[in-house]
Amino acid sequence: MEYKAPLRDMRFVLHELFDATAHCELLGNGLDRELIDGVLEEAARYTGGEIAPLNRNSDEEGVTLENGEVKTPQGFVEAYQQYVDNGWASMTGPSEYGGQGFPQLVACNFHEMLMAASLSFRIYSGLTEGAVLALYKHGSDELKNVYLAKLVSGQWSGTMCLTEPQAGTDLALLRTKAEPQADGSYRVSGSKIFISGGEHDMSENIVHLVLARLLDAPAGVKGISLLLVPKFIANADGTPGVRNALSCGAIEHKMGIKGAATCVMNFDGATGWIVGEPNQGLACMFTMMNDARFQVGLQGLGIAEQAWQGSLAYARERLQSRGLAGAQYPDKPADPIIVHPDVRRMLLTQKTLVEGSRMLAAYCARQLDLEHGHPEPSYRKAASKRAALLIPIVKAFFTDMGQEVASLGVQVYGGHGYIREWGMEQLMRDSRITQLYEG
């Protein structure tokens, strides 16, 4: 299934609805309309030309685990290297660590394109951006100096390690332990499940942000700390050093997103360093989780846009019966199904949900920008409150919407929608997880 980024619709939201140029002037980042449109055009070429063609194959091939090493689907390593080399990984990163500091109002459009082109591919890079936010806000200068630039560039990737077999939503039940060492580090022991990108072959190092309990921690969520635990411990010069005592014990075989490695991660006295204050890990992790929830909302939007595009193209081509008012295309053996009222109803439902959600995503992204970048403290506070309200709504509504639009797509295709070769059923399978993870 082809994907073509909806640049006209995105530009309408950016420029006509929210005046992205004035927004960028307020934030003082130097972006103007010409640069924004140029970036989106290049993003459309990359996602449509390089990423979308990988989606079907990644679903068929999946990932493999052998001797603790995960191999991603064919083409992922090369596409990710382009992602890094062309600066897409550093798009939203802080400028003092090599990032480009793009506002979320602009970046969310590129992220939607990635989700639509291949959700499996996007999952690997999405959590890295959340790890950057958490480390930038809560990490010590020592940790930031060693790890942030590599994470911002995409040379290293990041994960979020929360869930355990007995502790899903209820993190008060987690058992992973962190034992302090004389040198200020910690030995982390325990198992985490459902870790997206926990092991893969696309980046030279993987930095895990792990929730664990210190030995003297109080019970419940008040006793949770956040630790940075890398796959390879960084050398003094910033290169990957010795292999840490952690491993991927298994990969999950899933309903969808089969090109994304969902791992069981075992920490066997692995060396880690605390992020933020002891027993304040949940507050630190929520910096990452809030970003992840907004990104998962964009996953629903991306899936829905792709489903809408496929449905529209099929409805224009598929010939079936005659229109209610008589033959609309008398030179053809039957009319395309787009002339039939119920098909039009489904297409219009898809389009309305997609366009309305894109507007809400942009409004929420704008609040995230203003929360940190508005010159007036009172405006920053108001934007923070709006973002806190909107992010759970975006996450919940967009993911339900993505599943609904994909389901409508299957219906538009009819029996062919149920057949793998057309790609619509993959969108429905891939979208289902978005309603489950990140709360």
The residues annotated with a catalytic role in the active site are 438
Q: How many CB atoms lie within 10 A of CB 368?
A: 24
Ramachandran assignment for 248, one of left (phi > 0), alpha (psi -120 to 50 degrees), beta (any other): beta
Instruction: Give one DSSP letter per residue of 148-203, joined into a string.
Output: HHHHHHTSEEEEEE--BTTBSS-GGG---EEEE-TTS-EEEEEEEEEEETSS-SSS
Q: How many CB atoms lie within 10 A of CB 352?
A: 12
b (16+ CB within 10 A) / e for 290-307: bbbbbbbbbbbbbbbbbb
Query: Which of 125, 119, 253, 244 is CA-nearest to residue 185?
Result: 244
Residue for token digits 């940190």?
A: 372
Residue for token digits 């890398």?
A: 230
Query: Distance (Å, rounded) from C-alpha 228 to C-alpha 244?
Result: 12
Residue 319 DSSP code? B
